[in-house]
Structure 1
Amino acid sequence: MPNLPLSDLRVAEIGSGDTLDYCGKLFSDFGAEVIKIEPPGGDPARHYPPLVDAGNGRRESGYFAWLNTNKRSVIADLDKSDDVARVRALLATCDLLIDARAPSEIPNSLLTHDDLRKEQPGLAITAISWFGEHGLYSNYQTTDSVCRSLSGSVKLVGAQEGPPVLPRDGQIAVMAGLTAFIPTLASLYDRANGARRFAVSAHEAMLQISEFDTGLALEVGFTRPRMAINRFGRGYPVGNFPTKDGWLGITVVTPAQWAAFCVLLGLPELETEPQFNDGLARTNNSKALFDIFQPILMHKSAQEWFEMGIELRLPLAVVPDMETLLKQQYYRDRGAFAKVEIGTASFDAPVLPQTLTGSRPKPNGRAPFAGDDTIDALPAHQRVATRQATPDDPQPLKGLRIIDLTMGWAGPSATRQMGDLGADIIKVESCQYPDWFRGTDPRGPYFPERTYEKIYWFQQMNRNKRGITLDLTNPRGKELLKQLIAGADAVIDNYAADVLPRMGLDAAAMHKINPRLVVVTMPAFGMTGPWSGVRAYGSTLEQASGLPSVTGREGDPPTMLHAALGDPFGGVSAAAALMLGFMHQKNTGLGQHIDLSATEALLPLVAPSVIEQSATGKSGPRIGNRHPRFVPNGCFPCLGEDQWITIAVRSDDEWRALCKVMHRADLADDAALATAEGRRAEEDRIEVAIRHWTTTVRPDLAMVTLQDAGVPAGTARLPLDLAGDPHLLAVGHWQPVTKVFMGPHLLPSVAYREGSAKLPYPITRLAPTLGQHNDEVLRDILGLGAADIDQLRATEIIGDTAISKKAKAAPTTK
């Protein structure tokens, strides 16, 4: 396939795990030659459900096949010196090694990173592990649910009385795989100046989901409570509600949306009812409000309500099951699903959502059987890098300039990733309409006390950026933006799809100004199709992705995960798209439009369920906190108020170890429980026994005791707990800073370390105050003189304080 941005790269994968595989898929589906090095007998994940009939009696994992499309597979035993010698010879031809072996395994193996870096200084290396290479958890046994519990993204989900809800596996793979891909590709972008090594922590990558709530908790001193299924701190009504046909996702936050929702219901007079006239009042009176609107929703289907909501600019979504999701014409028209093949099996699965319109990813494709290739038969390849990068070398994106027109969470988190790697990010706001993450309520102290400079979330999302203000409704302000675009490498926005085109600043217009520009747009449903005008929050995107339909227990409503998942996943997806655009730009000298749909960015999270539906014609029942392979598996109450621990048993040995810790020799000796199949039949009884033990012990003590015994276990942390988590403190995840208006506060770090460093990159620039860098940017980049800048300030085209022009609603941008 021509014009794929990574077609000049050769990548090797060692180890096992879906995070490794997803990171590698991003390379292979965008053209790189990816060689998967599997152990004798093949990767164990080939045998994980859902299984498909691949012909000749072979049963292969459909999910594994999707993760490994367009790759090669070779067999090598890394405990044998002859095989290791062949792998070393292969790596001598590779640009990159992605290694998912455990941190404790690599230094004691026949293939260490220290040796490789000495022998092959031009080889880039990315090590992926659950908790990184240092810190208290680095050698912990873990699973998706255990890692998520420790990342603060489990405890707030579910019924008030508990237990917290454990999501399905596969979501960490996407977040951590993308988080690994971004610095890795940045290093390859700069590979002529030296190869780099990164060590990536999946746990820290997942903190990008919980950091919003951590910031909120640090700001107000407490964490919002776990309220109920589909009830969380976003106002009311927010959640999934039954209709005449199907479930409707609703997110009502702003006064304008409440007014529109009342119109939708045919009850405009409801808007001014005192008990419902603001978000807090609606939350406090949610039962009375539910009793009013729920019977009305039963008069129409979810699809009908959704289409009415588009006209009213309401954040609504149909919440599809997997069968409905696969049939939705919007996704089909945008090419969001395509065939995966392995052997004779063929089924649909999500396509990578980084829609580079000039160099689209391969639409899935064929996955190899284990050992389909041999090292000796691989074609020749010459890598570019000849030396290692040193700590004195500039960061890999130094010299790139990105014009950041984004607001809120998703877009700013994308550009934050680029700023962390050295790119010059120029964030453009206006005094009339600052970034809505500076606050959405302009009443009270907002203007006189400059509340908009004191919001924690804004500080988190906008580190390592410069900030200017331009009134884009003024022709002069728009002209200055065009001048910035003319000299930039990329521009990104997350406005609704129609905003910039109405201003004459669509992708085509920007490319007339600068043909080499990478233009990223990321509205909720992309720039094309009948849903392009849908307004959305992160919750809307989760609803539309179908994820709630596979989360929770049978009989419960489609269950949301109580975090605006669309924002952090959309952010890292957009950052990966930017890096792919930069690679294409470097290879060809040309820019292109990247049409990222924030909803499609969530489809990889439901890939296992989509594949099961497509391959078998049905989706398995929702199993709550249980697991299709691990038994027992769940989140159990501990000593204290609302204290919980997640425990997973992956093997019979781990089961016996759990029984020993619980002092239950009777269970260990019970032959009926000796195998996973036997334990599955007695899971209710086993869970009662576990609860009897866990309720007598503190969660951290239970975790440490079980980990010492080799059993995966993790405390269900609150977001507020993360600021004092001993592992995160040891690895330097929280960087203490102080800033005008904010005072001392903590900021999160990147989820990776370069080289053998124990600490992350230091934050070099705190989030800008409004218009902080106006003079610097306008003078040094656009060449304006002092008199010109003074005139711009006098006419309020630029400024450094917010202007109360009119009451405004928060833009529903993602």
Structure 2
Amino acid sequence: MGVLSHLRVVEIGSSAGTSYCTRLFADFGADVQKVEPPAGDPLRHSAPFTPSGQSAWFAFLNFNKSSIIIDPKDPDAAIRLRTLIENCDILVDGRYVDPADCLSIDVAELRKQRPDLIYVEMSWFDRDGDYAGFVATDSTIRALGGLIKLVGPVEGPPLHAPDFQMGIIAGLWGFIAAMCSELTRIKGEVGRSWSLSIFESSLALTEYLMCEAFTRGDVMHRMGTNRFWPSFPTGIYETKKGYLGVTLHTPAQWRSFCDMLCLPELPDDPSLLLGEDRLHHMDKIDAHFVPRLKTQTAQDWFAEGLKRKIPIVPLPEIPDLLQDAEKKARGAIVPVAFAGENGLTVGSAQRLTLTPPRQGGKVPSPGEQQRLTNAQRHLPHTASTSPGPTDPDRLPLHGIRVIDFSMGWAGPLCTRTLADLGADVIKIEAIQYPDWFRGVDRRPAYVNGQMYEKTQRFCILNRNKRGITLDLKRPQGAALAKRLVAGADVVVDNYSVDVLTRLGLGYDVLKQLNRRLVMMSMSAFGMNSVHRDCRAYGSTLEQGSGLPAVIGSSNGPPAMSHTAFGDPVGGLNGCAAVLVALLHARNTGQGQFIDLAQIECMMPFAAPWITVQSAGGTAIRYGNRHPQFVPHGCFRCRGKDSWIMIAVTDTDMWHRLALLIGRPDWAEDASLKFAEARRAIEEVIERDIAAWTLSRDADEAMSDLQAAKVAAGVARLPIDLLNDPHLKSRAFLQTSERAFIGSHPQPSMPIREGVRPYAIRTAAPTLGQHNREILSELLGLSDPEIIELVNAGIIGEKMLSEKELARVSNLSSD
């Protein structure tokens, strides 16, 4: 029986974000009722299509749901819709993206009648702010969110993927909002009401670069396909057979990789020691790397890299994913049935081991009710007393304690989201090995100057947490960690597989201390993977997910679309998984282990191609064009490296665009009414659009296009977002004060319960800032005991330099 099988979820309107949100509920057994118009959800008509004409994108978003057709023209339509909503637990509303002929609903009045109802509303930009009236698509949102301009060849145009990204990110945020609301509702509180901006949800992928730009200035520019700030190499290389993803950050990884390629002269060059330094010598380095890598296959290099603990990975093609027995066994690839056709698609990445998600399912035909074997009969909410009021000052996860062993981006984003929502998150580092997002430079000047306290990336990912240092390699440190876990609800780590187990802190040990404990491992490939020992970063995860194989032009190399795509995606998936497991623990008193493989979290972005290929079709690279919208692309504007994304989604929008750019003949030409007819002259159309945009400033062009209700978005750099007028009007960037760096911006969550975002309560902890507070107040240690821990190097407040670390290691080995 699914862990969420007690819930009924109703989905109205049409949005990839709302569809993915409710699919996550369906994955865990919820009864999801999808309301559609007689013509069906518009997403049923979204390319790419299987050979039989089924939408692969719709199939991925909607299996294991039921469909209810409500014709707004029917006299009883309003009563049917209201009755359906009155008998559900969660209402997910996509009407502000596409109403899909859904009737008007007075949600406020409904919630008065059903105060326990949880409501999640999605829109492109929310209902207020400078962009509130803009028309948009996935790609124009990504352009405005700083996710396109840094990708592709230096000369342009910027390179981007088709529209299969923001719906997944927004869906995860919507699911997180609804799940934390369910956690409060089971305690007797009223249901919460959320609004979600898809544009702001996209900034989970950009916020690190945006806030780094606040400190570093205008240092990020498009550097070429598969090249990204702030490190090099972080890209894709051709080998003797196949392509290889390479990510080298630390000096040790750099030395090992050069040694593997028999290039002893490179590691000795002090100007190439750190990844950011190597950015200034990219062509020089590639001149050495490119010919060497072509001497062996990608699989050969991967095998060598595993021995040397280097983060490299072969790039799979879509057919490789479909033939991967491990991914099928883990449920990353699952069977899907639709309209008499069978195929495969991407399953749930939330790998809860005690209460696992469904492995595949059926896409409902319009109006089809599914009777799912593991769903219990839905019982409408019949509490003996009315739900209690929600304390406006009490955050939804108040009272939940999280022990955070994670570092970098993915794990800290997961735990930061829990902290933002009210959880007490205790971050555990060590003076010997602090979070590597503080910096990997251990040279004396860096350590003595406490530069590790001045990294913006660490500060945005660790706000609202308390910080403690413990040397987990020492018995005293591990023992104190166990005592903290004994009183916690959640443990999160994103170390390599078995690191905590070797320290005596594996799940088998910790569950004996705390049977309700939810523990999540966020490894790259999963605990039981044949690649479990592969080192990985967020870029490695994108490289190994199959996504680069379908991005870019048909005659170009596989292309990455982000410096570390896998990190924020893994973090959001991890947060979603923890909330499901927490709900089960609250209902049953039973904790469990979550085996989250971050590479599987990236696979939904390639899902449409996987489904098409599995059904006998072919995965096609679209370049900057679109499988459905014509015209669609990134066009140069007046000024240096100035671009705008334009997408025409229907006939009326095409008519308005043609008139705007001075082609009334196109607007009046009935033969160009449909996109496929326009595709025959797509190059001609693109040339005329390019001539029009080139004579205008990018923001001026966007203003004119949006005034004509044509979907358009300026291709922003991350630094531009610091002064984005819409984000300013929405108070999205909050100001926080912290020792060592002073006043700095903090991005808000994209989910809101009111007009303003959740406030940032505390700045990120300095190293060991809360040692005394936590050890004395939570564990009852005396001042002499704490001083003894300091003297022994078990705890501390200053990072060790390379020499100090070597000395301590020698003493420990003695």
With normalisation by structure 1, the TM-score equals 0.95
Question: Given that residues 498 and 533 in structure 1 are in contact (C-alpha distance below 8 angstroms), is that contact kept between their aligned partners in structure 2?
Answer: no
Counterpart of 2:22 in structure 1 is: 24
Partner deviation per Cα, 1:253-307 (whole Å, 9 max, x = no partner) = 2211111112221334542256755545643333333233322222221111111
Residue of structure 1 aligned with 2:173, choices 179, 184, 192: 179
2:772 counterpart residue number? 775
Asked whether 1:328 is paired with 2:324, we answer yes
* Residue 33 (structure 2) aligns with: 35
Identify the residue that residue 797 of structure 2 maps to in structure 1: 800
Structure 2 match to 1:295: 291
Query: Helix, strand or coil: the match of 2:122?
Result: strand
For residues 165-188 of structure 1, the C-alpha deviation after alignment (integer angstroms, 9 at most, x for no partner) is: 121221111111101111210001
> SS of the residue aligned with 1:760?
coil
Aligned to 2:492: 492
Q: CA deviation at 1:216?
A: 1.5
Is 2:616 the partner of 1:616?
yes
Aligned partner of 1:341 in structure 2 is 337
Amino acid at match of 2:131: Y
In structure 2, relative to structure 1, the CA distance for the partners of 1:338 and 1:437 (3 Å cut) is same
Is the CA contact (8 Å cut-off) linking 1:466 and 1:768 kept in structure 2?
yes
Matched residue type, 1:342: F
Cα deviation for residue 388 of structure 1 reads 7.2
Answer yes or no: is the 8 Å Cα contact 2:37–2:102 preserved in 1. no
Aligned partners of 1:103 and 1:139 also within 8 Å: no
Is 1:382 matched up with 2:380?
A: yes
Q: What is the DSSP-based 3-state SS (H/G/I as helix, E as strand, rest coil) of the residue aligned with 1:646?
A: strand
Amino acid at match of 1:14: I
Which position in structure 1 is the counterpart of 2:140? 146
Contact preservation (8 Å) 2:478, 2:505: no
Aligned residues with identical type, % of pairs: 44
Distance in 2 between residues matched to 1:797 and 1:282, nearest whole Å: 35
**Cα distance in 2 for residues equivalent to 1:753 and 1:21:** 19
Distance 1:395 1:590 in 2: 24
Alignment of 1:593-608 (within 5 A): 593-608=593-608
Offset, 1:234: 4.0
When structure 1 is superposed on structure 2, of 626-635 and 246-255 the one drifting more is 246-255
Aligned partners of 1:79 and 1:109 also within 8 Å: no
Q: Give the equivalent residue in structure 2 for 1:752.
A: 751
Quickly say closer, same or farther: Cα 1:402–1:153, change in 2 above 3 A.
same
Question: Residue 575 of structure 1 aligns with which residue?
Answer: 575
Alignment partner, residue 12 of structure 2: 14
Aligned to 1:506: 506
Partner of 2:64: 70
Letter in 1 for 2:281: N
Aligned pair in 2 of structure 1 residues 153, 726: CA closer, same or farther (>3 Å)?
same
Name the SS of the counterpart of 1:153 in structure 2. coil
CA contact (8 A) 2:231 2:275 kept: yes
Aligned-partner Cα distance in 1 for 2:59–2:100: 26
Residues 1:786 and 1:489: Cα distance change in structure 2 (over 3 Å): same
1:686-725 per-residue CA deviation (whole Å, 9 max, x = no partner) reads 1110111101111111111111111100111110010111
Amino acid at match of 2:147: S
Secondary structure (helix, strand or coil) at the match of 1:199 reads strand
Which one-letter code corresponds to 1:625 in the other structure?
A: N
Task: State the Cα distance separating 1:117 from its structure 2 match.
Answer: 1.6
Matches within 5 A, 1:639-654: 639-654=638-653
Alignment of 1:652-663 (within 5 A): 652-663=651-662
Q: Report the Cα distance in structure 2 between the residues aligned to 1:28 and 1:516, rounded to whole angstroms.
A: 24
Distance in 2 separating the partners of 1:152 and 1:39: 35
Q: Which moved more, 1:433-442 or 1:45-54?
A: 45-54
Query: Which of the residues 253, 258, 277 maps onto 2:254?
Result: 258
The residue type equivalent to 2:81 in the other structure is V
Conserved in 1, the CA contact under 8 Å of 2:474 and 2:794? yes
Of residues 398-407 and 580-589 in structure 1, the stretch that sits farther from structure 2 once superposed is 580-589
Specify whether residues 340 and 11 from structure 1 end up closer, same or farther in structure 2 by C-alpha distance, changes over 3 A only: same
| 1:108 to partner: Cα distance | 11
Q: Distance in 1 between matches of 2:320 and 2:692?
A: 43
Tell me, yes or no, if the aligned pair for 2:86 and 2:110 is still in contact at 8 Å: no
The match for 2:532 is 532
Is the alpha carbon distance of 1:250 and 1:387 closer, same or farther for their aligned partners in structure 2, counting shifts above 3 Å?
same
2:809 is aligned to none
Any conservation in 2 of the 1:527–1:595 contact (CA below 8 Å)? yes
Q: Partner residue of 1:481?
A: 481
Question: Retained in 1: the 8 A contact 2:613–2:619?
Answer: yes
Residue 151 of structure 2 is aligned to residue 167 of structure 1: no
Structure 1 letter corresponding to 2:359: P
Q: Which amino acid aligns with 1:37?
A: V
- In structure 2, the residue corresponding to 1:522 is in which secondary structure? strand
Are residue 312 (structure 1) and residue 311 (structure 2) matched? no
One-letter code aligned to 1:761: Y
**What residue identity is the alignment partner of 1:679?**
R
Q: Distance in 1 between matches of 2:120 and 2:276?
A: 46
Task: Give me the whole-angstrom Cα distance separating, in 2, the residues matched to 1:359 and 1:313.
Answer: 33
Tell me: CA distance 1:282–1:311, structure 2 relative to 1, closer, same or farther (3 Å): same
Q: How many Å separate the matches in 2 of 1:562 and 1:44? A: 29
| CA gap 1:52/1:232 in 2 versus in 1, 3 angstroms | closer
Alignment deviations for residues 108-137 of structure 1 (CA, whole Å, 9 cap, x no partner): 963122221222222110001111222121
Given the alignment of the two structures, is residue 400 of structure 1 paired with residue 396 of structure 2, yes or no?
no
What is the rounded CA distance, in whole Å, between the counterparts of 2:763 and 2:74 in structure 1?
50
Partner residue in 2 for 1:812? none
Deviates more, 1:557-566 or 1:228-237: 228-237
Q: CA deviation at 1:80?
A: 5.4
Counterpart code for 1:261? F
Give the letter aligned to residue 447 of structure 1: V
1:763 has 2:721 as partner? no
CA pair 469-80 structure 1, distance change in 2 beyond 3 A: farther
CA 1:572–1:671 in 2, change beyond 3 Å: closer, same or farther?
same
Q: Which moved more, 1:108-117 or 1:607-616?
A: 108-117
Q: In structure 2, the residue corresponding to 1:668 is in which secondary structure?
A: helix
Q: Secondary structure at the match of 2:91?
A: strand
1:45 CA displacement: 1.3
Q: Quick one: distance in 2 between partners of 1:491 and 1:91? A: 36
Contact conserved, 2:139 with 2:163, CA < 8 A, in 1?
yes
Q: In 1, are the aligned partners of 2:6 and 2:378 still within 8 Å (CA)? A: no
Letter in 2 for 1:784: L
CA positional deviation for 1:389: 4.7
C-alpha separation between the residues in 1 aligned to 2:674 and 2:97? 29
What CA distance in whole angstroms lies between the structure 2 residues aligned with 1:762 and 1:293? 47
Cα deviation, residue 416, structure 1: 0.7
Pairing 1:92–2:86 present: yes
Q: CA deviation at 1:731?
A: 0.9
Cα separation, partners in 2 of 1:528 and 1:374, compared to 1, 3 Å: closer
Aligned to 1:637: 636
TM-score normalised by structure 2 residue count: 0.95
Structure 1 position 787 matched with structure 2 position 781: no
Pick the aligned partner of 1:361 from 346, 351, 357. Answer: 357
Which has the larger displacement, 277-286 or 81-90?
277-286
Larger mean Cα displacement after TM superposition, 232-241 or 348-357: 232-241
CA-to-aligned-CA distance 1:380-439 (integer Å, 9 cap, x gap): 522267447545262111111000000111000000111111111011111221111111
- 1:736 match: secondary structure: strand
CA shift for structure 1 position 608: 0.7
Q: Distance in 2 between matches of 1:107 and 1:389?
A: 34
Residues 207-222 of structure 1: pairs in structure 2 closer than 5 A: 207-222=203-218
Instruction: Report the Cα offset of residue 334 of structure 1.
Output: 2.6
Q: Measure the CA separation in 2 of the matches of 1:280 and 1:767.
A: 24
Measured at CA, do residues 105 and 528 of structure 1 come closer, stay the same or move farther in structure 2, by a change above 3 Å? closer
Partner residue of 1:544?
A: 544
CA contact (8 A) 1:163 1:635 kept: yes
Q: Distance in 1 between matches of 2:673 and 2:325?
A: 48
In 2, Cα distance between the equivalents of 1:324 and 1:381?
44
- In structure 1, stretches of 5+ residues that fail to align are 810-814
Residues 432 and 805, structure 2, Cα contact 8 Å, conserved in 1: no
Relative distance call for 1:151 and 1:715 in structure 2 (3 A) is same
